[in-house]
Chains A and B, each alone.
Chain A
């Protein structure tokens, strides 16, 4: 079947959806009349349980999901195309808005790719500051996942607890970067400002507090009978299928495969830190929950080590062709002023070439591909977003299970639609 007619089949199917049942639309089987009656249902795009503007075309047999097609694109913002029309440093605030819960990771993948092309050395202090902010971001993203996933299972108080801790982290971001979300803190060659006075003390408070809080979350959820019934042995997919689909991150690690780019291909000084990779065994929703909560604990450890060993030195590269000169030089040095004008109006030129920089985001491998034609604007920017790839595995996870389990599985999959549609 050619793709065009496949699409129109979908259109026909959509239009035929009424309150009565649809007869055998997608190759239903079974000899007795009742079981061949399938029902096609639109879940979303405006549905609170789809975690964004995601639409699922679900074919049901009674309460059992027989077929599922995610329909995406409702949040398409054309960010990749927008990035082609902007100079390199102006792409950063734009690209951060793709996966809106992992903004530090988005800019890290992009900055890493451009730094590879430029062959610029990032100072050690900047790398450590990046690690601190990325790991805080990972905890923050997992907290949003935990709160909303528990809400989907009916546990209301978890949501408030998680958002309370998230608030503390966002406060830290506001203190060091000036904004709670989409901070444009990472710049090519380092970070834009050093951390302010008082940041270390607040961070210490958080890293001391966080393990205790995670224990409290686990006291509420881990052995709760409802949680066990809803999560254990639900949405099981084996490692091979996931690898075939290209799924990475906590979903893959829940099956027992320890693939984590922070260890497998260390970037940004991650090899300086001592942390473990939590893995599951079966690959069901319960393992996904345990892996992510264990990851939060590991992130806390990384932050503590990074803050402890934070080296002195510059926070951004000294290369005046790439980084803006310090503000106080503008009033005194003509040369600094010329560099400033040049960088702000035109930006720097990047040697022609291609680079791909993969990092481990809270959802898996987030890679940024940048192609440069030698000008001051990228010729192509593409993100390999883990949410997009991971979403494909949803139908294998839920086929044959109940529609209530579909909600739980989608929550445990943790797709961010901003990253899926870009």
Chain B
């Protein structure tokens, strides 16, 4: 019947006893006690739950949370030049970039152009991080915050100012290799 023979690589699992009868009467007590022993032995292992939101789960360095836009530390200029590569890479089409020319007197970004409008619709975002991979200037990265719920869908559209600002509540971060 089987056209393919796996040879030695098969192990048959045990069937276990037939339920009921005298063995069943024994198991109702014996095996239940054995089960209870297993359960009670776990008590000494301590608790695994944590008291969220007082205590927060620290995230790993690679964790992809809420996005952040960045500025150059020395000049304070925005890194984003409005090239829209992130918008092109986004699988759920939730980034909107409108670029405009920099005024040489009053520069916003380091490049020729800057993002006049930069919006991410976080209610559509799937946190894939493709925007971070796509950006050639490291202007957008995925931050570490995972607390983003809100009462209004419209409040989940993050504007450039919100993305540039530091998040109010910092999420604890684990060290590399911890």
Contact = CB atoms under 8 A, between A and B. Distances in A.
Interface of A: 86, 90-91, 93-94, 97, 157, 161, 164, 167, 171, 174-179, 182, 184, 192-193, 196-198, 216, 219-220, 222-225, 228-229, 232, 239, 256-260, 263-264, 275-282, 286-287, 290-291, 294, 324, 330, 337, 340-341, 344-345
A258 B10 contact: yes
B62 A174 contact: yes
Interface stretch (B24-32, B73-81, B101-109, B111-119): B24-32
Contacts of B170: none
B14 A220 contact: no
A90 B126 CA distance: 12
Contacts of A330: 136
Interface residues of B, number: 50
14 contacts: A93-B126, A97-B126, A171-B60, A178-B142, A184-B128, A220-B38, A220-B39, A223-B27, A259-B2, A278-B10, A279-B10, A279-B13, A286-B15, A291-B13
A290 B13 contact: yes
Interface in B5-60: 6, 9-20, 24, 27-28, 31-32, 34-35, 37-39, 42, 48, 59-60
Contacts of B64: 178-179
A157 B39 contact: yes
Interface of B: 1-2, 4, 6, 9-20, 24, 27-28, 31-32, 34-35, 37-39, 42, 48, 59-64, 85, 88-89, 91, 126-130, 133-134, 136, 142, 176-178
Contacts of A260: 6
A179 B63 contact: yes
A294 B10 CA distance: 11
A277 B4 CA distance: 13
A228 B60 CA distance: 42
A93 B85 CA distance: 18
B11 A232 contact: no
A223 B176 contact: no
A222 B34 CA distance: 11
B63 A224 contact: no
Contacts of A90: 89, 91, 130
A412 to B, nearest CB: 14
